[in-house]
Amino acid sequence: MKKAVILTADKFEDMEVMYPLFRLQEAGWQVDVAAPKKEAIHGEFGYGELKPDILIEKVNPDDYDLLVIPGGSPEGAPAIVRKIKKAQEITRSFFDKNKPVASVCHGPWLLADSGVIKGKRLTSYWHDGVPESVKAAGGKWEDKEVVVDGNLVTSRWPADLPAFMREVMKLVSK
């Protein structure tokens, strides 16, 4: 069974966590939600409450085939996760091993802070300083619903999730 890990925290963007979670489960994947604490986390719009499966600090990236980095409000989950050194280490490990990484909305903040996107094409939410962070980290930001660069799939926001997951599923089925 293939395994994915979603790195998030409280105040996640509901659809950006739930849509990939359910789509991957539908395809037979085991999906672990990793958060900074083991207490319930909540979507910013009230659709989702999740009990994390694992602490981010306990994630062994070698145990997973796919890394998913969703977004949320600029003061919510992505702002928290991007500052966690272990989340940065997990991200670097996936890139070092050329394993699939999927990130949407404010999630690319973690990619930028992890130092893994120099020369990579990607997209993100278009406000809140996300494109500026991507560019400052050497990424080539594009305003498209989905951008695929090797094993990296990125999208801008919840309305792009169908295109995002279509490309993620293509990538992980190779």
Burial class (CB in 10 A: 0-12, 13-18, 19+), 159: exposed
Of the candidates 23, 82, 106, 156, the residue annotated as catalytic is 106
Neighbours of 82 (CB within 10 A): 23
C-beta atoms surrounding 94 within 10 Å? 23
Is there a catalytic annotation at residue 106?
A: yes
How big is the chain, counted in residues? 174
Please list the alpha-helical segments (H only) found in 44-100: 77-81, 85-96
Q: Which residues are catalytic?
A: 106
